[in-house]
Structure 1
Amino acid sequence: MLKEVLQFLKHPVYEPDENRDLGYRITVFVRLLILSLAISIVIGIVIGGLESLVNIDLGQHAMDLLLEQYSLTFIGFLAIVVAPLLEEFFFRGPLVFFKKSSFFKLIFYLFTLAFGFYHITNFEITTTILVLSPLLVAPQLSVGVFLGFIRVRFGLIWAILLHACYNLVLVGPILLLRVLDIPLE
């Protein structure tokens, strides 16, 4: 599956997958979810290691602010429902308008980069954050490729579902720890 995604990344083409079998699509979906999570977690570990090793101050993350200001239900709804819907409509939805265009490859890359770098807003913007931004948004850049892949192959709904499940797996444990009153640090 990773090989197929990497080939798509090298030369993105708007070619929907003709296989409509739900079992097949769920299998591909689960594989993409596992791959995107694994890559994001590895990148997160690298970022955390770099932060500790070089003693970099990344400031307060947006999730910390949300946890201070809003209910867990609201945060969960925002991360698992609202963000996937809005971000997929905005960053992957328009790909359909370029499906027959010779510019599809460029448009795909631009929307993927925009999606990734949009997430730099999760950090307090400082010179350090801007310099490290390619690394800090690398998880979102990588998941953006998987979201774009599934959007082109299976449709926008599948990209929304993948995004929602991805966020659930990453945000869910944080919310659960809060519910159980277990400190995050």
Structure 2
Amino acid sequence: MRKVVRHFIEDFQKFLRNPQEIVDGPQNGAFHSWMVVLTINFAFAALVIIPLALLIDQHVLPLKGGPLPAKMPLWFLVIVILVMVPVVEELLFRYPLKFARNRVLKIAVYGSSVLFALVHMSNYDNHEVLFYLFAPVIVGSQLVGGFLMAYLRLKHGLRWSILMHAVFNAVIIVPVTLSIHGATVIDSHSPQYSLVVTQYAFSEQPEHIRIFRQEAGIDTVHVRQANLQRIVDLIGTPGAWYVDDALVDIDFKATSPIPPDSLISLLGQQFRMIPQTIPNVLPSEPRQ
């Protein structure tokens, strides 16, 4: 195995210098190359990119990733992640590489890999300057993965890059999706109130929000698959809080009305709530 890894490292360096040598070189050992490439991609994501992204998220800039907007059953979403996305993205980004030659091929490999990473920036709703400065880290896994899958495509064929893409999604994306979707993240009860919050990875039904107020407090909230930021804006002052982007059900019932900020604090047991500076505006009419 050590010999295979050493051979791959030498071959990949050659590929980065001149992809044409890979196209015209020997094409044997496809499975071993695929295993090495897959292992390297997982190791790089787990040991480098994910820890750095978490540090950025916690200490530099909250990364505003969110649930999928599409309404679909879970089984179909899994098929999309494991089959449709790998096939479509490999056809778009890697399939044309075989038809380029010489200097054009090198430009195509580098261009398609960078574009593949940039496309995945759309997974986030950030538009801050810092987000774009840290983009090479945030989408670093896709950037490195783009070069590795380009190598597999040119060295051994498109089916190997599709297979790597599918397995990476199966190991990373599907478990995260399944762990989030339909999970009860807050189940809090006291003599004064009860609060149950369920989180979803994607929408399965139309949004439904009902908030009941008495005087200056809230006594009942009934939400079905709505965006948490929208809910917090409706409960408190719009724009006063930045909230982790999440799709949730909320069932809240209080024996007597509680202040909006107290309810937001209860939601803060699970979700990040960051106070925002908002401009002074004329007071609006109270919402019913």
CA distance in 2, matches of 1:66, 1:8: 36
Mapped partners of 1:141, 1:48: distance in 2: 18
Structure with bigger RCO (C-alpha 8 Å, 6+ apart): 1
Task: State which of 66, 78, 88 in structure 2 corresponds to 1:86.
Answer: 88
- Give the partner amino acid of 1:133: A
Q: Which residue of 2 aligns with 1:15?
A: 23
Deviation per residue, 1:144-184 (Å, 9 max, x gap): 01100000000111111111111111113213424794759
- Structure with greater Cα Rg: 2
Match for residue 48 of structure 1? 54
- Other-structure match for 1:5: 12
Structure 1 residue 51 displacement after superposition: 1.9
Q: Please report how far the alpha carbon of residue 132 of structure 1 lies from its aligned counterpart in structure 2 after TM superposition.
A: 2.3
CA distance in 1, matches of 2:178, 2:50: 20
Provide closer, same or farther for how the CA distance between residues 40 and 73 of structure 1 changes in structure 2, counting only shifts above 3 A.
Answer: same
C-alpha distance 88-12 of structure 1, shift in aligned 2 (>3 A)? same
Offset from partner CA, 1:41-84 (integer Å, 9 cap, x none): 22111110222133x1111x2xx412895433232222111111
Corresponding position of 2:140: 138
Given that 2:44 and 2:141 are in contact with CA atoms closer than 8 Å, whether structure 1 keeps it comes out as yes
User: Deviation per CA, 1:26-54, whole angstroms, max 9, x where unpaired?
Assistant: 22211111111111222111110222133
Equivalent position of 2:110 in the other structure: 109
Aligned partners of 2:9, 2:58: CA distance in 1, in Å?
Answer: 30
Report the CA distance between 1:2 and its aligned residue: 3.5
CA RMSD of aligned residues (A): 2.5
Q: TM-score, normalised to structure 1's length? A: 0.83
Moved beyond 6 Å, runs of 4+: none
**Aligned pair partner of 1:37 in 38, 42, 54:** 42
User: What SS is found at the alignment partner of 2:119?
Assistant: helix
Q: Please, what TM-score do these two structures have when normalized by structure 2?
A: 0.55
The structure that is strand-richer by fraction is: 2
Q: Secondary structure at the match of 1:44?
A: helix
Question: How many residue pairs were aligned?
Answer: 177
Contact 2:82 2:170 in 1 (8 A): yes
CA distance in 2, matches of 1:124, 1:83: 20
Paired residues of 2:63 and 2:126 also in contact (CA < 8 A): no
Q: Give the gaps of 5 or more residues in structure 1.
A: none
- Partners of 2:90 and 2:161 within 8 A in 1: yes
**Is residue 85–residue 160 contact of structure 1 (8 Å, CA) maintained in 2?**
yes
Query: For the residues of structure 2 that align with 1:124 and 1:2, how far apart are their CA atoms?
Result: 36
Pairing of 1:72-83 with structure 2 (within 5 A): 72-83=74-85
CA distance in 2, matches of 1:177, 1:126: 28
Match of 2:5 in 1: none
Residue identity matched to 2:41 = S
CA distance in 1, matches of 2:11, 2:142: 19
User: Which protein has the bigger helix share?
Assistant: 1
